[in-house]
């Protein structure tokens, strides 16, 4: 089930594989549909960019479709542009006070992050790093990220969002979150999607998304079980 404010567009993967540098490693090809017997977990897909004219919602919509096809997640698409993200942080770090006074417009974000077993950050590169909106959302929270599984979908010019992804790995490591190795990257995204927001050659990125989703589910399942054990047991 997908909780998404944007309509999911139908598309058919009927073209050959894209260039090898489109996504992270692995062989080209899309999985044959199969029944997924994995236990369902809650996956938050976070649109990181809030800039005018952003492309992030298109990429997030595509990834939500992939996660729905995977069959092991209930998907919640979170758009940071719809959240209150003040730059002034609370006096006490959320690491020390898990529930600092938060703005009314941030409570929904906190609740949805709390509920997620895993998160995927959809991010562009901005000045060789990730957007300030993502950093603000991160810094207002701690336990919502801790012991959770994080994946990434990047898009930009030549780097395909990889500069942002590598910086975010360091940040989430500090929060005791686990980032999966596999990722999806769209270098020169403006050439890869058509005017309707559909990939021109969808097979290879779809395969990369499924690999990452497999890893997200494995780690999220393990960490959910670990979080359920009382501390000190």
Question: Looking at residue 39, what is its pLDDT?
Answer: 84
Q: Which pLDDT band holds residue 230 (cuts at 50, 70, 90)?
A: confident
SS3 153: strand
Question: Looking at residue 36, what is its pLDDT?
Answer: 58
Question: Looking at residue 23, what is its pLDDT?
Answer: 45
Q: HSE on the CB side for 37, CA within 13 Å?
A: 0
Residue 176 has pLDDT above 80, yes or no: yes
Work out the percent of the chain whose per-residue pLDDT is above 70.
83
Residue 15 has pLDDT above 80, yes or no: no
pLDDT digits (tens, 9 = 90+) for 64-115: 999 999 999 999 999 999 999 999 998 888 998 888 889 999 999 999 999 9
| Domains of the chain, first to last | 41-87+100-228 (3.40.50.360)
Higher pLDDT, 138 or 93: 138
Q: What's the whole-model pTM score?
A: 0.83
| Residue with tokens 């417009």, as numbered in its chain | 105
| Distances from the Cα of 93 to the Cα of 32, 100, 133, 182, angstroms | 47, 8, 18, 31
Residue 149 has pLDDT above 60, yes or no: yes
- In whole numbers, what is the pLDDT of the chain averaged over residues? 88
Residue 183 has pLDDT above 60, yes or no: yes
C-alpha triplet 228, 231, 233: angle, nearest 5°: 90
């Amino acid at each position: 089930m997908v909780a998404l404010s944007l309509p999911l567009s139908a598309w058919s993967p009927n073209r050959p594989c894209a260039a090898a540098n489109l996504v992270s490693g692995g062989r080209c090809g899309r999985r044959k549909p199969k029944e997924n017997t994995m236990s369902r977990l809650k996956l938050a897909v976070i649109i990181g960019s809030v800039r005018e004219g952003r492309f992030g919602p298109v990429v997030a919509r595509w990834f939500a479709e992939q996660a729905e096809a995977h069959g092991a997640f209930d998907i919640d698409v979170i758009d940071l542009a719809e959240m209150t993200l003040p730059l002034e942080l609370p006096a006490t770090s959320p690491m020390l006070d898990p529930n600092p006074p938060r703005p009314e417009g941030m409570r929904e974000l906190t609740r949805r992050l709390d509920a997620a077993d895993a998160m995927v950050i959809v991010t562009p590169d901005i000045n060789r790093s990730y957007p300030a909106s993502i950093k603000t959302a991160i810094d207002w929270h701690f336990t919502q990220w801790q012991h959770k599984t994080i994946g990434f979908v990047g898009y930009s010019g030549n780097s395909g969002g990889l500069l942002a992804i590598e910086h975010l790995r360091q940040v989430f490591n500090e929060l005791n979150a686990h980032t999966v190795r596999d990722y999806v990257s769209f270098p020169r995204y403006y050439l890869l999607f058509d005017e309707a927001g559909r990939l021109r050659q969808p097979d290879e990125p779809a395969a990369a998304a499924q690999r990452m989703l497999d890893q997200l589910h494995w780690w999220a399942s393990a960490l959910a079980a670990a979080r359920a054990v009382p501390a000190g047991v």
